[in-house]
Amino acid sequence: MIDNITYNDFVNKVHSSSDIIKVISAYVPLKKRGHNYWGCCPFHQEKTPSFSVVPDEGFFYCFGCHTGGNVFKFLSLVENISYGDAIKLQAERLNIPIPQKKKSDREIEHENNIKNLYRIHEMAQAFFHNCLTKTSYGKPGLLYLKKRGINNDIINLFHLGFAPPGWDKLSSAFIKRGINENLLLQVGLIVKKKTSGYYDRFRERIIIPIKDEKGRTVGFGARLIKDGQPKYLNSPETLLFNKRNLLFGLNESKKYIRQYDYAIIVEGYMDAIALASHNIANSVASLGTAFTAEQCKKILRYTSNIYFCYDGDSAGQNATLRALSIARGQHAAVKVILLPDGSKDPDEFLQKHDAAAFNKLIDNAVSFIDFHLHYIMQNIDYTSLEGKLKAVSFILPILSSIDNLVESNAYAVKVSQTLGIDETDLRNELQKYRKHSNQSSAPSNFQISQTINSAGDSAAIKAGRHIITRIWQEPDVLDYILATTPINEFENKQHREILTFLTEQIHNNNFINDITASEKLSDDSYTELSRCLVEKKNTNESKLLDDYLKIIHRAHLEKSYLEHSLRADELERSGDDRFQQELIKIQRIRKEMDGVK
pLDDT in tens, 107-144: 888 889 999 999 999 999 999 999 999 999 999 999 99
First to last CA, the chain: 59
Task: Please tell me the distance from the alpha carbon of residue 169 to that of residue 190, in angstroms, as a whole number.
Answer: 11
Residue 234: what are its φ and ψ, rounded to 5°?
Answer: -110, 165
Task: Please tell me the distance from the alpha carbon of residue 251 to that of residue 277, in angstroms, as a whole number.
Answer: 16
| Mean pLDDT score, 474-500 | 92
Measured between alpha carbons, how far is residue 418 from residues 334, 387, 424, 427, 539 in Å?
22, 13, 14, 15, 49
Residue 351's SS3 state is helix
Q: CA nearest 246: which of 274, 217, 276, 286?
A: 286
Which residues neighbour 538 within 8 Å (Cβ) at sequence distance 6 or greater?
A: 34, 35, 36, 52
What integer pLDDT is reported at residue 88 of this predicted model? 92
**Which tens digit of pLDDT belongs to each residue from 500-534?**
999 999 999 888 888 889 889 998 899 999 999 99
Would the pLDDT of 285 be above 60? yes
Which DSSP string corresponds to 383-426?
TSHHHHHHHHHHHHHHHHT---HHHHHHHHHHHHHHHT--HHHH
Higher pLDDT, 543 or 100: 100
CA dihedral 550, 553, 555, 556 (to 10 degrees): 180
Element spanning 284, H or E: strand 283-285
Task: Please tell me the distance from the alpha carbon of residue 170 to that of residue 199, in angstroms, as a whole number.
Answer: 9
Which residues neighbour 287 within 8 Å (Cβ) at sequence distance 6 or greater?
A: 210, 221, 234, 243, 246, 247, 248, 268, 269
Global pTM value = 0.67
Q: CA nearest 519: which of 4, 65, 3?
A: 4
Domains and CATH numbers, the chain: 4-93 (3.90.580.10), 105-241 (3.90.980.10), 245-373 (3.40.1360.10), 380-441 (no CATH), 449-595 (1.10.860.10)
**Which tens digit of pLDDT belongs to each residue from 56-79?**
889 999 988 888 999 999 998 888
What integer pLDDT is reported at residue 319 of this predicted model? 92
Kindly report which listed range (37-46, 243-252, 261-270, 321-330) carries the lowest average pLDDT score: 37-46
**Helices and strands, number each (H, E), in the chain:** 27, 16
Which residues neighbour 105 within 8 Å (Cβ) at sequence distance 6 or greater?
A: none
Residue 66, CB half-sphere, CA atoms under 13 Å: how many? 7
**Which tens digit of pLDDT belongs to each residue from 154-193?**
999 999 999 999 999 999 999 999 998 999 999 999 999 8
Would the pLDDT of 5 be above 80? no
Confidence band of 246 (pLDDT split at 50, 70, 90): very high
Helices 293-300 and 250-260, axial angle in degrees (round to 10): 50
Task: Please tell me the distance from the alpha carbon of residue 552 to that of residue 489, in angstroms, as a whole number.
Answer: 7
Residue 208, CB half-sphere, CA atoms under 13 Å: how many? 23
Task: Please tell me the distance from the alpha carbon of residue 401 to that of residue 390, in angstroms, as a whole number.
Answer: 18
Residue 554, CB half-sphere, CA atoms under 13 Å: how many? 20
Residue 550, number of CB atoms within 10 A of its CB:
17
What integer pLDDT is reported at residue 289 of this predicted model? 62
Beta strands 217-224 and 205-211, pairing class: antiparallel
pLDDT mean across residues, the chain:
87
Residue 116: what are its φ and ψ, rounded to 5°?
Answer: -65, -40
Residue 31's SS3 state is strand
Task: Please tell me the distance from the alpha carbon of residue 372 to that of residue 191, in angstroms, as a whole number.
Answer: 44
What integer pLDDT is reported at residue 576 of this predicted model? 79
Beta strands 68-69 and 59-62, pairing class: antiparallel
| Mean pLDDT score, 403-413 | 82
Could you tell me what percent of the chain has a pLDDT over 70? 93
Which DSSP state fits 160?
Answer: -
Which residues neighbour 302 within 8 Å (Cβ) at sequence distance 6 or greater?
A: 254, 257, 258, 263
Which DSSP string corresponds to 183-194?
HHHHTTSEEE-S
Q: CA nearest 321: which of 269, 394, 263?
A: 394
Higher pLDDT, 141 or 567: 141
What integer pLDDT is reported at residue 511 of this predicted model? 81
Task: Please tell me the distance from the alpha carbon of residue 297 to that of residue 331, in angstroms, as a whole number.
Answer: 10
Kindly report which listed range (147-156, 160-169, 277-286, 549-558) carries the lowest average pLDDT score: 549-558
**Which tens digit of pLDDT belongs to each residue from 413-461?**
888 898 888 888 888 888 888 777 654 443 333 332 332 233 333 688 8
Task: Please tell me the distance from the alpha carbon of residue 460 to that of residue 454, in angstroms, as a whole number.
Answer: 10
Residues 327, 291 contacting (CB under 8 angstroms): yes
Task: Please tell me the distance from the alpha carbon of residue 431 to that of residue 580, in angstroms, as a whole number.
Answer: 45
Q: CA nearest 55: which of 41, 42, 74?
A: 74
Residue 212's SS3 state is coil
Task: Please tell me the distance from the alpha carbon of residue 224 to that of residue 345, in angstroms, as a whole number.
Answer: 18
Element spanning 105, H or E: helix 105-134
Give 575: exposed, middle or buried? Use CB within 10 Å, 0-12, 13-18, 19+: exposed
Higher pLDDT, 268 or 438: 268
Residues 278, 355 contacting (CB under 8 angstroms): yes
Kindly report which listed range (127-131, 309-313, 589-593) carries the lowest average pLDDT score: 589-593
What integer pLDDT is reported at residue 577 of this predicted model? 79
What integer pLDDT is reported at residue 406 of this predicted model? 81
Would the pLDDT of 100 be above 80? no
Could you tell me what percent of the chain has a pLDDT over 90? 50
Residues 68, 531 contacting (CB under 8 angstroms): yes
Confidence band of 4 (pLDDT split at 50, 70, 90): low
Task: Please tell me the distance from the alpha carbon of residue 563 to that of residue 578, in angstroms, as a whole number.
Answer: 15
What integer pLDDT is reported at residue 597 of this predicted model? 62
Which own/partner pairs from 449-456 qualify as long-range (CB within 8 Å, at least 24 positions apart)?
449/562, 449/566, 450/559, 450/562, 450/563, 452/562, 453/558, 456/554, 456/555, 456/558
Residues 249, 213 contacting (CB under 8 angstroms): no
Kindly report which listed range (95-99, 351-355, 421-425, 435-439) carries the lowest average pLDDT score: 435-439
